[in-house]
Amino acid sequence: MLSEPYYYFYKLTDREWVKALAVYIREGEKQIFLTHGESWEREKWERVCGESFIDLLLPGEYILDVGAWWGNSEAADSFQDFFRLLK
């Protein structure tokens, strides 16, 4: 089984990387959240609609964290990569 990927955008703000945007692909549908700097407290995230989540990012420097996992009940593995993005 392959999980659908996630994308986390961290913005450089006051010399600190702060999570700004989270994107999940679930059953072919994009779920986009403005995180308001809250790393893991999803109840504080704001779900938004939009075709291009890149358009939701403010100008600045970002780190994009892309990940997914795959496996079954006997074995699993994961993928995670990071990219620098200037907007």
- The residue ranges of every structural domain in the chain are 6-86
Q: What is the pLDDT of residue 2?
A: 62
Q: What b/e sequence results for 61-74 when a residue is b if at least 16 CB atoms lie within 10 Å of its CB, and e otherwise?
A: ebebbeeeeeeeee
pLDDT digits (tens, 9 = 90+) for 30-84: 899 999 887 778 889 999 987 788 889 999 999 999 998 888 888 888 889 999 9
Q: What is the predicted pLDDT for the residue at 78?
A: 86
Query: What residue has token string 């779920």?
Result: 31
- Whether 7 has a pLDDT exceeding 80, the answer reads yes
What letter represents residue 14's amino acid? Answer: D
pTM of this prediction? 0.82
Res 85 pLDDT > 80: yes
